[in-house]
DNA sequence: AAAAAAT
């Protein structure tokens, strides 16, 4: 290969020195069965070290300025936050001497103060008052100061936090919110404080932290792959065939990747060939690396803007995803691959200080990982320009294009600076992709894009053992406690339908002495990240979540998913249970099915179960038969769409016209296959 | 009903 040495002078992109030597250590990469279309292909190409100037990146760590740190509760949560602080509701929150949570907080309209009990703070502060959620009484959101304590510790981390530690742990959290002159906001007269995220851990071990592939990893090779479109590049079988530079090879190995998954085998050469791509592959099968690796490789070859402070930065790559935590996860993954190169990834999302996002970007930005709202905000402030944009990635693409995010995506694509689709590469990845959304996606993609499907579009991962239990809503709490007590300390994600119920169940489980935390959109950003950290670390083996955590999150050792409430869309179900059974590991998913509310999902659910070779309860089939699925009138996408009906579009059939989102209103009245 | 910008 002729590209082995050009990057050897490059220094650590965190501002550190030259990289220590690292020997790639590919694990046993056995010979894989090669399918007919998987002939190896060489992507070694002439490499010019353009733009690779070995410049050090700017320092990523915030340098103080932590005065002003409360997430702004949007979506009306702020509107009623103080009104609901009636006696008897959330009173348990006011413990530990009026901690910051009780004081600043009730940020979620008085809810959300459920305890997250730590090992050393394990008693209900409100005397163990039992809640009766289903009886429509909303009491007993007892709280513990436990996570407040830990939170203060964790988010301190570096310089600039000194002196706060004692105050928080002492429970006098309000001092935390007093301005001591180091903040840029310092507006403590008002209730608005914006959270500044902690600097990401950046020791090399932290950066490359990963978990092991599971016993079923090799079974990925048995899954059928369908690639449609013209002039399909051949798949590659090994990382070596991708013709990557040495630094990237090292980073890939160090990040724990040794064997390609099917979606990677096909997507990497497609992206390297400069093609647009829509790719569907099961949850946990390596989609993120499937786009990051080839993008990084291309950027290394073509060169990127030097890392230096500029008022406006012009990233070569923008990656969007539907939740803040997912965007952060993608960022952390991109940081692995970019380590020791001149490519600087940056992450920005809401619930944090916009100024912090801006500063991060201004220090240099080649890959921008962002949630849509903050991205548009930053674009509007002209802190990023799009003239150098060459890669636009929509992770969880179906979600990014549906009713919720579609308008934001349209704004992004319509930005005057956005290169037309023929001058950029647009990549979309998801485990699910309803047909009508595929159709919308065509607006973003070149006519001749390629469509990769691993297995079935919208299919569940077969490494997840799925169980459906008929449980009425009134029995859910007892059943949940029973199951969790049987599970023991194994990591479990519990999904519910509403934020309120997330709080309720988290509180309930804490009362049952099960170490639980929760994540949902009405929690402060810092609380969300704290919850995720406590779950990841095992400190809280149970995470109660809304669908905010349904997609993309890659958490080690999640062995169980419990759907206390089934989602209304079967695609959401597929994503939720996909939090377990990742990367060749196995997992279990148990779902409570209440015929009173869930009959609409019975039929598509049966399809998903059957396609994943799971047992289908006879009672469920009876319910499905009874719930006549005649309606395509149901506004909810996917309600009755069978997995089988979703087929890959042939690329020449993608030349549909029609305005973006306008076509959303017209159902599948055209034949797409 | 969840989520995505702040204000």
pLDDT given for residue A68 in this prediction = 30
pLDDT at A199: 83
Does an H or E element contain A378, and which? helix A372-380
Quote the pTM value.
0.72
Q: Give the integer Cα–Cα distance in Å for A493 and A513.
A: 16
User: How does pLDDT run across A182-221, given as a tens digit for each residue?
Assistant: 333 333 334 456 788 888 888 899 999 999 999 999 999 9
Nucleotide nearest to A497 (CA to C1'): B1
**pLDDT value of residue A43:** 26
Strand-by-strand arrangement of the A542-545 sheet = A464-470, A587-593, A558-563, A491-495, A542-545, A516-519
Q: Is residue A122 scored above 90 in pLDDT?
A: no
Encode pLDDT of A424-465 as tens digits. Answer: 999 999 999 999 899 889 889 999 999 999 999 999 999 999
Angle at A91 between CA A85 and CA A97, to 5 degrees: 110
pLDDT digits (tens, 9 = 90+) for A151-193: 333 332 222 222 222 222 222 222 222 233 333 333 333 445 6
Strand B: list positions under 7 Å from protein Cβ: 1-7
Read off the pLDDT of residues A256-300 as tens digits, 9 standing for 90 and up.
999 999 999 999 999 999 999 999 999 999 999 999 999 999 999
Q: How confident is the model at residue A629 (pLDDT cuts 50, 70, 90)?
A: low
Span CA (A1) to C1' (B1), Å: 54
- The pLDDT confidence band at residue A643, using thresholds 50, 70 and 90, is very low
Task: Look at residue A513 and give its three-state secondary structure.
Answer: coil
Give me the phi and psi of A525, to 5 degrees please.
-60, -40
Q: With 0-12 CB in 10 A as exposed, 13-18 as middle and 19+ as buried, what is A420?
A: exposed
Kindly tell me if the per-residue pLDDT of A106 is higher than 90: no
Residue A282 φ/ψ, nearest 5 degrees: -60, 160
Q: What is the 3-state secondary structure (H, E, C) of A574-617?
A: HHHHCCCCCCCCCEEEEEEECHHHHHHHHHHHHHHHHHCCCCCC
A623 pLDDT more than 60: yes
Average pLDDT over residues A380-398: 95
Residues A101-111 as b or e (16 or more Cβ within 10 Å = b): bbebbbbbbbb
| Mean pLDDT rounded to a whole number for chain A | 72
Instruction: Provide the CA A407 to C1' B5 distance, Å, integer.
Output: 13
Name the token pair of A260. 């390609």
Q: What is the pLDDT of residue A453?
A: 96
pLDDT at residue A628, as a whole number: 61
Would you tell me which residues have their CB within 7 A of strand B? A 72, 74-75, 78, 192, 194, 322-324, 349-352, 354, 371-377, 380, 403-405, 408, 497-500, 520-522, 546-548, 568, 636
CA of A385 to C1' of B5 (A): 19
| CA atom of A569 to C1′ atom of B1, Å | 11
Residue A72, CA: closest nucleotide via C1'? Answer: B6
Q: Provide the CA A350 to C1' B6 distance, Å, integer.
A: 9
pLDDT attached to residue A193 = 63
Asked whether the predicted pLDDT for residue A650 surpasses 80, the reply is no
Task: Select the more confidently predicted residue: A421 or A32.
Answer: A421
How many Å apart are CA A378 and CA A335, to the nearest integer?
Answer: 21
Residue A439, SS3? helix
Q: How far apart are CA A544 and CA A519, in angstroms?
A: 6
Residue nearest to nucleotide B4 (CA to C1'): A373
Determine the distance between A375 (CA) and B4 (C1') in angstroms: 11
pLDDT of residue A198: 83
Closest nucleotide to A528 by C1' from CA: B3
Per-residue pLDDT reduced to its tens digit, A136-153? 323 333 333 334 333 333
* Cα–Cα distance for residue pair A608/A612, rounded to 1 Å: 6
The 10s digit of each residue's pLDDT in A562-618 is 999 999 999 999 999 999 999 999 999 999 999 999 999 999 999 999 999 999 999
pLDDT of residue A637: 39
Question: Distance, angstroms, CA A404 to C1' B4?
Answer: 8
Query: Which residue's alpha carbon is at the shortest distance from the C1' of B2?
Result: A547
Whole-number Å distance, CA A106 to C1' B7? Answer: 20
* Distance from residue A82's CA to nucleotide B1's C1', rounded to whole Å: 23
Q: How far does the CA of A74 sit from the C1' of B7, in Å?
A: 10
Q: Which nucleotide is nearest to A327 (CA to C1')?
A: B4
Among all protein residues, pick the one whose CA is nearest to the C1' atom of B5. Answer: A373
- pLDDT given for residue A229 in this prediction: 97
Instruction: Return d(Cα A611, Cα A466) in angstroms, integer.
Output: 12
Instruction: Say which nucleotide is closest to residue A374, CA to C1' distance.
Output: B5
Residue nearest to nucleotide B7 (CA to C1'): A74
CA distances (Å), A472 to each of A230, A508, A566, A595, A639, in order? 51, 18, 12, 7, 21
């Amino acid at each position: 290969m002729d590209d082995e040495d050009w990057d050897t002078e490059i220094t650590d992109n965190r501002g550190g020195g030259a990289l220590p030597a690292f020997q790639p250590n590919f694990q046993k990469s056995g010979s894989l069965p090669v399918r007919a279309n998987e002939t190896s292909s060489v992507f070694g190409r002439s490499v010019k070290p353009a733009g690779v100037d070995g410049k050090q990146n700017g320092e990523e760590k915030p340098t103080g300025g932590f005065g002003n740190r409360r997430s702004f509760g949007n979506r009306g949560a702020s509107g009623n936050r103080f009104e609901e602080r009636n006696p008897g509701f959330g009173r348990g929150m006011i413990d530990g001497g009026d901690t910051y949570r009780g004081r600043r907080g009730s940020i979620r309209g008085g809810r959300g103060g459920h305890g997250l009990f730590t090992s050393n703070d394990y008693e209900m502060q409100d005397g163990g008052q039992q809640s009766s959620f289903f009886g429509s009484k909303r009491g007993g959101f007892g709280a513990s100061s436990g996570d407040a304590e830990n939170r203060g510790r964790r988010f301190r981390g570096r310089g600039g936090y000194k002196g706060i530690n004692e105050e928080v742990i002492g429970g006098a959290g309000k001092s935390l919110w007093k301005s001591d002159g180091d903040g840029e906001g310092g507006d403590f007269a008002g209730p608005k404080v914006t959270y500044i995220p902690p600097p990401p851990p950046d020791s090399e071990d932290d950066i490359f932290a990963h978990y092991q592939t599971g016993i079923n990893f090799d079974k990925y090779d048995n899954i059928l792959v369908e690639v449609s479109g013209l002039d399909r590049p051949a798949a590659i079988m090994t990382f070596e065939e991708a013709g990557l530079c040495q630094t990237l090879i090292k980073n890939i190995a160090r990040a724990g990747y040794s064997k390609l998954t099917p979606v990677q085998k096909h997507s990497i050469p497609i992206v390297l060939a400069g093609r647009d791509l829509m790719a569907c592959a099961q949850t946990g099968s390596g989609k993120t690396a499937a786009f990051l690796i080839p993008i990084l490789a291309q950027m290394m070859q073509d060169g990127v803007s030097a890392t230096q402070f500029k008022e406006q930065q012009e990233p070569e790559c923008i990656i969007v995803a539907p939740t803040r935590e997912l965007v952060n996860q993608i960022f952390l993954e991109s940081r692995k691959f970019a380590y020791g190169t001149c490519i600087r990834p940056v992450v920005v999302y809401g619930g944090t200080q916009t100024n912090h996002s801006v500063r991060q970007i201004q220090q240099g930005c080649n890959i921008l990982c962002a949630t849509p709202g903050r991205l548009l905000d930053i674009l509007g402030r002209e802190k990023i320009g799009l003239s150098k944009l060459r890669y636009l990635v929509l992770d969880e693409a179906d979600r990014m294009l549906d009713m919720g995010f579609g308008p934001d995506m349209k704004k992004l694509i319509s930005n005057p600076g956005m290169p037309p689709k023929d001058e950029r590469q647009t990549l979309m990845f998801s485990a699910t992709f309803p047909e009508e959304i595929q159709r919308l996606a065509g607006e973003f993609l070149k006519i001749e894009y390629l469509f990769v499907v691993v297995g079935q579009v919208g299919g569940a991962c077969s490494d997840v053992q799925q169980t459906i239990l008929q449980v009425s809503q009134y029995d859910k709490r007892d059943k949940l406690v029973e199951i969790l007590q049987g599970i023991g300390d194994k990591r479990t994600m519990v999904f519910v339908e509403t934020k309120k119920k997330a709080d309720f169940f988290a509180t309930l489980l804490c009362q049952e002495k099960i170490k639980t935390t929760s994540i949902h959109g009405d929690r402060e950003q810092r609380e969300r990240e704290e919850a995720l950290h406590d779950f990841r670390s095992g400190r809280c083996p149970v995470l109660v979540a809304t669908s905010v955590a349904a997609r993309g999150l890659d958490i080690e050792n999640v062995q169980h998913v419990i759907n206390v409430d089934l989602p209304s869309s079967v695609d959401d179900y597929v994503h939720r249970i996909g939090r377990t059974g990742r990367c060749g590991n196995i997992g279990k998913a148990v779902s409570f099915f209440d015929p009173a509310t869930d009959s609409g999902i019975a039929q598509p659910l049966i399809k998903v179960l059957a396609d994943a070779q799971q047992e289908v309860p006879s009672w469920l089939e009876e319910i499905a038969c009874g719930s006549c699925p005649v309606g395509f009138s149901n506004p909810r996408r996917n309600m009755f769409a069978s997995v089988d009906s979703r087929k890959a579009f042939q690329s020449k059939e993608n030349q549909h016209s029609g305005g973006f989102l306008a076509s959303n209103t017209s159902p599948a009245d055209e034949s797409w296959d």
